[in-house]
Chains A and B, each alone.
Chain A
Amino acid sequence: MAIPISYNVRNLVVRKTTTVLTVGGIALTVAVLVAVLALVEGLRSAFEASGRPLNVLVMRKGSTAELMSVVTRSDFQVMKFKPGIATNRNNQPMASLEMVTMINNLGNGKAAEGMNINLRGLTPIGIEMRDQVHLISGRFFEPGKREIIVGKNIAARYPKASLGSRVRFGRGQWDVVGVMDGGRSSASSEIYADLNQISADYSRTEYLSAALIRASDPVAMQALRNNLEGDPRFNISTQSEREYYESQMVSATPVRFMGLLVCVIMAVGSSFAAMNTMYAAVARRSADIGMLRVLGFSRAGILTSFLVESVILSVMGGAVGCLLALPLNNFQTRIGSFVTFSEISFSLRMTPEVMAAGVGFGMLMGVLGGFFPARSAAKKEILAAFRAV
């Protein structure tokens, strides 16, 4: 028969100071881990939301980002009549020629004025192809006018780019006529303007950046990609929009690496602290252990009991850690994409998986910290256990 868990719980209650301090140490470690995981998860979900599965992104061969890619207008005129392209209600092919550049002059001129913001020139069909984008205030830009719509994160962060203000780039002033919500997608951190206006400003009316083409179905998508890549007239390569954004997850690598390193070292420290607490528990309950053995509980039972106690301690730590980090849920932050060299705003996401990982990590610390003390408890000889003071 196993030693009842209530025995462990009551012991933890009796030594409440030590219990609280140990739980606190584990909780802080878990909180850091959970924050790192929530950050990575938030970024992943932002990139995932940015790529729609049927959209094919066409860029110049060898380009890794729209910013460095070149697709010519004349090539695009051929591309958009390839077979397998979905059409909209007006029977127009769902293909969008786009120009991407960056601006970084919305800050207030102080040192930390933030990162580059993607400026995207596109046509109405390009907006239509981004299903997740909708206006929250104002209106869409009108073709042929010097008007822009800004993502909600941009509008919130830069007073200079709020609705109704004027922004200067290219060859002059642009009116902010609308604020768009792209959900978690990168559109919320971008600025959209009329393709022809933008490309004229940057003297790139023929050399644009990339083309986004929607395939009619997954099978047609592969055929379309083969068709485009195999066409000797173009010097392009294709990838699904989803792949493009997934590849940007490398941006999270330094943060993830540093964060996990910090967590591992903190976890080592917390395991030692848990070990300390459990050794003290074992030492103080020497007589208990002797009595339990006399009553017929096995060595294995004692080992399990102390291990369980350590795990209870650490799971509490994990839970408290998750609670500590919970206010970070939806905390808005931003990171620079190493692929596009522009910033993407996203929110930390405390998903159940993230929290489970946090509690699991805490539990691991409990097992590591509790094993040796539990073993030393199990090894005690009955008489020696009674004699110890």
Chain B
Amino acid sequence: MLRYWPLVVKNALRNRRRSTLTVLSVAASFCLLGVLMSMYHIFFLNPPSPDQALRLMVRNRISITNVMPASYEARIRQVKGVQEVTVFQYFGGIYKDSRDMKNYFARFGVEPARFFAVSPHYRIPDEQKRAFETERSACVVGLGIAQRLNIHIGDRITLVGDIFPVILELTVRGIYENPSDDGGLLFDYEYLRESMAQRGRGQLDQVGMFILRAESPEAVPSVIEAVDEMFANSPSETKTETERAFALGFLSYLGDVKLMLISVCGALTFTILLVSANTMAMSVRERVREVGILKTLGYSPHAVLGIMLSESVLIALLGGMLGLGIAAAIVSAMRHVPIMFVSLKRLAVPPWVLAGCLVLAVVVGVASSFFPAWNASRRPITTCLRFTD
């Protein structure tokens, strides 16, 4: 088969404009397919890292705006299989001008030492970590947010509370890096408690969320059950779920993302098929007489069929590769844009998407040219030679 290769390439190059347009058209669809499938991967398939799988979020069963008694923390810590637990209090608040979406990022109150014990994947220099642990009004910000808003160590940040009626005056003491998401700010929960007490708002004895770290992956299911069991039938029942399940809950804010991605991908696959089939139908039709000549020269119907299918596969593969190349570029640009609370920092075109798209290109190439090529290869020589377009 390989010896027909030069003929295949020559055929593909004969009508360069058509081949180029087809490749570009197929590339546009494959580019989108690559981007959307990568998004699907990171949202729904990406397996959590071993470390992430150990982290569990505990919230009030009723909803994330409902709170739980702060005393839960000590009781959760005693559950068998729990290594460490920290308060994780959403603060919200307004930083500078809230109308500018640029200034929108997540702010959480945590217990510094415990938080880093729960989240060892946060990379932060030791002296910065110590500064955050010792200074009450210190805060640390993610590298992503620091770069976006030009925040440096030593800067002062003022957060005007909207849920909590306080103003937090914070000093940046550290910049952390988190491989999956560094678009947030963390401050000492104790500072929030003190600020509330100073404002005469009494003791803050309710907490929005806890994060806990299980000792081992095996302990995770039993920890989830034990924690939720412990507070069942109390005024504040809890819901414990993995970090990943929690993040997916936020994704549903965008609507039925799964359905949207799948249906658009389906439409794109059909588009590729139609475009490719159209091109092949046109080029086979133009070449019926040539098929007659090839056959006269002794090419078997199978060889003719193979040559035409190869040409179509070649064009579809070129389109696929070009499209995936563009997709990779788009994906790396998208990494810096968070969607709601779901970080796209780790967005990349995964290998199975690459492989899947290339396989799809081959399948589309064959499927789109099979019928015209089959018909042409079966046509008797005399009718081929007599054929006029």
Contact = CB atoms under 8 A, between A and B. Distances in A.
Interface in A100-158: 101-105, 111-117
A245 interface: no
B61 interface: yes
A329 interface: no
B281 A62 contact: no
Interface stretch (A1-9, A23-31, A50-58, A290-298): A23-31
Contact of A104 (B36, B62, B254, B263): B62
A171 interface: yes
B274 A28 contact: yes
A284 to B, nearest CB: 7
A262 B264 contact: yes
A39 B267 CA distance: 17
Contacts, number: 156
Nearest to A172: B235
A266 B32 CA distance: 8
B66 A269 contact: no
A335 to B, nearest CB: 4
Q: Please list the 5 inter-chain residue pairs (A to B) with the smallest Cβ-Cβ separation, ordered nearest first.
A: A336-B253, A269-B28, A272-B25, A21-B278, A104-B63
A261 B327 CA distance: 13
Contact of A276 (B98, B248, B260, B278): B278
Contacts of B22: 272-273, 276
Contacts of B277: 21
A269 B162 contact: no
A266 B339 CA distance: 22
Given A68-B162, A265-B28, A268-B28, A254 B254 contact: yes
Interface string B14-34: 000110011011111101100
Given A112-B248, A268-B28, A276-B278, A68 B92 contact: yes
Contact of B64 (A104, A117, A255): A104
A273 B64 contact: no
B13 interface: no
A18 B65 contact: no
Interface in A25-42: 25, 28-29, 31-32, 35, 39
A338 B252 CA distance: 11
A275 B21 contact: yes
A237 to B, nearest CB: 13
Contact of B25 (A262, A270, A338): A270
Nearest to A346: B255
B63 A116 contact: yes
Contacts of A73: none
Given A68-B163, A111-B248, A334 B256 contact: yes
Contacts of B162: 62-64, 68
A17 interface: yes
Contacts of A103: 62-63, 66
B249 interface: yes
B157 to A, nearest CB: 18
A254 B94 CA distance: 22
Contacts of A22: 274, 278
30 contacts: A17-B281, A21-B275, A21-B278, A25-B274, A28-B268, A32-B264, A62-B94, A101-B63, A101-B66, A104-B63, A104-B64, A111-B248, A112-B249, A113-B249, A114-B252, A254-B254, A255-B260, A265-B28, A266-B267, A269-B26, A269-B28, A272-B22, A272-B24, A272-B275, A273-B21, A273-B274, A273-B278, A276-B18, A276-B279, A341-B65
A76 interface: no
A266 B28 contact: yes
Interface in B23-79: 24-29, 31-32, 36, 61-66
B61 A105 contact: yes
A105 B18 contact: no
A318 to B, nearest CB: 15
A223 interface: no
A262 B32 contact: yes
Nearest to A32: B267
Contacts of A262: 32, 36, 264
B119 interface: no
Given A21-B278, A68-B162, A254-B339, A116 B65 contact: yes
Interface residues of A, number: 57
Contacts of A386: none
B267 A28 contact: yes
B282 A272 contact: no
B252 A280 contact: no
Contact of A272 (B28, B92, B160): B28
Interface string A305-335: 0000000000000000000000000000111
Given A29-B271, A275-B21, A67 B278 contact: no
B64 A333 contact: no
A22 B277 CA distance: 10
B36 to A, nearest CB: 8
Contacts of A338: 253, 340
Given A25-B271, A28-B270, A262-B32, A333 B92 contact: no
A234 interface: no
B389 interface: yes
A256 to B, nearest CB: 11
B314 to A, nearest CB: 16
Contacts of B197: none
Contacts of B389: 284
Contacts of A254: 254, 339-340
Interface string A245-283: 000000100110000001001101110110111011000
B252 A269 contact: no
A63 B165 CA distance: 11
A269 B32 CA distance: 10
Contacts of A64: 98, 162
A21 B65 contact: no
A62 B274 CA distance: 53
B262 interface: no
A247 to B, nearest CB: 11
B89 to A, nearest CB: 15
A115 B253 contact: yes
B113 interface: no
B63 A24 contact: no
A105 B63 contact: yes
A18 B282 contact: yes
